[in-house]
Amino acid sequence: MDNAEFQQHAEQIEQLVQRVTAIPDDDARTAALELMQALMDLHGSGLSRIVELLSESGESGRNSLAELSRDPLICGLLVLYGVHPVPVEQRVAFAIEKIQPQLRKRGGNVELLEVIDGTVRVALHASGNGCHSSPDALKPLVEQAIREAAPEIVEVIADVPISAQSGFVPLNSLQAAAPEEKKYEESAA
């Protein structure tokens, strides 16, 4: 099951919950809601125990847990039940790191600025040379990578520098960058 299928199931569950809450019979509605809550509690306890056992079972268990938590379906469930072993900030940073080579091939780069209350803000740098390197072409790739790693993210905001938006690079920005490059070359030697 991929992320889209997971989202489809989540939407279906949401629609069913709305139908249950609209049941006019108080007893039937209460019983249905209690049943759903009991199932959620049972599943949450089971997932929490799995995370706990794998975390405590040495390097092999922690490696297995890390592998499982990167799977989009399992990641979504761990987030849903609040037991994902990796903080959202780390998952977003890893997703951005993982997508960098693909962005570089397209003349782009992304920098994580912040993760706050379900919103990720990134700086998206693109050469703008060609349709595959425009900010509009790169942003969906970044959003998809972030949402797969952290399905609880509600919004991805991509700040695009003015020079990347227009394709124009001011001469003074190139001159200002030159001393830094020289300093880097000297420190690398």
Please give the mean pLDDT across all residues of the chain. Answer: 83
Gap between the Cα atoms of 53 and 45, Å rounded = 12
Question: Does the structure show a pLDDT above 70 at 174?
Answer: no
Give residue 132's pLDDT. Answer: 58
Give residue 135's pLDDT. Answer: 76
Give residue 54's pLDDT. Answer: 95
> Could you tell me what percent of the chain has a pLDDT over 70?
80
Gap between the Cα atoms of 146 and 95, Å rounded = 6
Give residue 181's pLDDT. Answer: 46
Domains delineated in the chain: 3-80 (no CATH), 88-188 (3.30.300.130)
Gap between the Cα atoms of 2 and 6, Å rounded = 6
Token digits of residue 38: 């009991």
CB atoms within 10 A of CB 106: 18
Find, among 141, 10, 165, 140, the residue nearest to 73 by Cα. 10
Block residue for tokens 């394709």: 167
171 class by beta-carbon count within 10 Å (0-12 exposed, 13-18 middle, 19+ buried): exposed
pTM of the model as a whole? 0.68
pLDDT in tens, 34-89: 999 999 999 999 999 999 999 999 999 999 999 998 888 888 889 989 999 999 99
Give residue 126's pLDDT. Answer: 79
Cβ atoms of residues 138 and 110 within 8 Å: yes
* Region of residue 187 (phi > 0: left; psi between -120 and 50: alpha; otherwise: beta): alpha
Gap between the Cα atoms of 146 and 88, Å rounded = 10
111 pLDDT band (50/70/90 cuts)? very high
CB atoms within 10 A of CB 44: 15
| Full DSSP string of 81-113 | TT--SS-HHHHHHHHHHHHHHHHHHTTEEEEEE
